[in-house]
Each structure stands twice: as C-alpha cells, then as structure tokens.
Amino acid sequence: MTLPHPNADQISLPIVLAVLGDPTRLAIVRYLASKEGVPLSCSQFLDLASKTNLSYHLAKLREAGVTRAEVVGTNRMITLRRADLDARFPGLLDSVIAAAGEDKALPMVGGADEIEIPA
C-alpha cells in the first residue's frame, strides 16, 4: 500500500503555512527535525493526541507535502520532506523550526529532553 504525496512542484506555500499553523502539527515537525533523516513510527507521537486525532494531523502534514509517510507492515514511518521544502521555499522550514524551538506553549513529544533543534 502506498500513500499519496504531492510532487515537490505541487507543494503550495499557503497550504504549508496553514498546516504548520496548528500547534500539534508544528510539534510533530519540530520533533521530526530534531531526528533529521530518521523515519519515525507514528506511535512516537501518541503523547500529543489520540490515535484518531494523530492520524488526522499526520494526514494533513502528508497531504501538504511537509512529511512523507511510508507503510511498513502495520506501521507508518514518517519523515520530514526537508529537501523538497528547502528547494521550493528556501529558509522557510529552518525559520519555522527555530521559532517553534523557542515556543514553550507548543506540546512536547516524549519530554523536553528529547528535542534538540539543529542549528
């Protein structure tokens, strides 16, 4: 089973910004950025929301082109589409992640000690 993802040239700035405007989705992106290049199971984000709610947020991120989800057995492995986003909107992701790293109001995944925002 493969999940639909937009091509890099189909990623739209207004949609990306709207998706990143949600605190839960922004927390997911912040955490993915801290684990750069490492596919993470969707279950790693259960601290943020119920399974149903989390599925909704992960789908929104995937549909906007912010993340890539690959089905591996019964899991979905999530990665940040940094290269595609940087090619389309240079500096945007770094700016958003830097601002999110300083925002104490955002929900945390697994605890504050696990997140290191790349410089």
Q: What is the CATH number of the domain that holds 55?
A: 1.10.10.10
Per-residue pLDDT of the chain (119 residues; tens, 9 = 90+): 678 899 898 999 999 999 999 999 999 999 999 888 899 998 888 888 888 899 999 999 999 999 999 988 888 999 999 999 999 999 999 999 998 887 777 778 765 444 444 44
Reported as type and span, the H/E element at residue 56 is helix 51-64
In one-letter notation, the amino acid at residue 103 is D
Nearest Cα neighbor of 60 from 73, 47, 49, 74 is 49
Q: Which domain holds residue 87?
A: 11-101
Does some domain include residue 83? Answer: yes
Q: What is the pLDDT of residue 117?
A: 44
Tokens of 110: 């697994």
**Which pLDDT score, from 0 to 100, does residue 17 have?**
96
